[in-house]
């Protein structure tokens, strides 16, 4: 569950990064995972990994927007949880289909928050895709 929550958090980050959706963070209902808020260790990611992250993030941004709307329309907590679970499953599938594993995707998401240069590179990669 922590893995999915971290992915959902990273997806919301990437949604804001790639699509400029400021209110997407409202969809984050799971409690903050203290491990997800720790600083990511400095890592060197290949251009290929960054491109995979950029591509996956764009797909995740679309999924996040779709599921944010569905989440707001859900009638009760059980329905909201079902929407969150379905969204996480789709996001995990997108990440894995991109060639990254969830942990690497999340690590890149955390790293770009702390490294404006890396964020700029990912944004450029995303705009060229």
- pLDDT tens digits along 7-63: 555 554 544 444 332 223 333 333 444 444 444 455 789 999 999 999 999 999 999
Number of Cβ within 10 Å of residue 33's Cβ equals: 15
Range of the domain at 95: 2-14+51-128
3-state secondary structure of 41: coil
Residue 23 lies in a domain: no
Cα angle value 72/75/78 (rounded, 5°): 100
Q: How many CB atoms lie within 10 A of CB 89?
A: 12
In a domain, 44, yes or no: no
Q: Does residue 46 fall inside a structural domain?
A: no
In a domain, 6, yes or no: yes
In a domain, 37, yes or no: no
C-alpha 30 chain-centroid distance: 14
User: CA–CA separation, 30 vs 32, rounded Å?
Assistant: 6
Residue 121 inside a domain? The answer is: yes
Q: How do residues 78-114 score in pLDDT, each as one tens digit? A: 999 999 999 999 999 999 999 999 999 999 999 999 9
Determine, yes or no, domain membership for 85: yes
The domain total for the chain is: 1
Q: Is 87 part of any domain?
A: yes
pTM equals 0.69
């Amino acid at each position: 569950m922590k893995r999915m929550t971290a992915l959902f958090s990273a997806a919301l980050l990437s949604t804001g990064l790639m699509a400029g959706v400021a209110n997407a963070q409202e969809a984050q209902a799971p409690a903050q995972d203290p491990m997800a808020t720790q600083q990511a260790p400095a890592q060197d990611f290949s251009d290929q990994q960054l491109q995979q992250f950029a591509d996956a993030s764009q797909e995740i941004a679309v999924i996040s927007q779709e599921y944010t709307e569905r989440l707001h329309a859900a009638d009760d907590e059980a329905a909201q949880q079902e929407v969150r679970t379905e969204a996480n499953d789709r996001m995990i599938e997108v990440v894995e289909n991109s060639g990254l594993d969830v942990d690497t995707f999340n690590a890149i998401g955390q790293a770009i928050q702390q490294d404006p240069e890396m964020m700029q590179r990912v944004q450029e990669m995303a705009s060229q895709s």
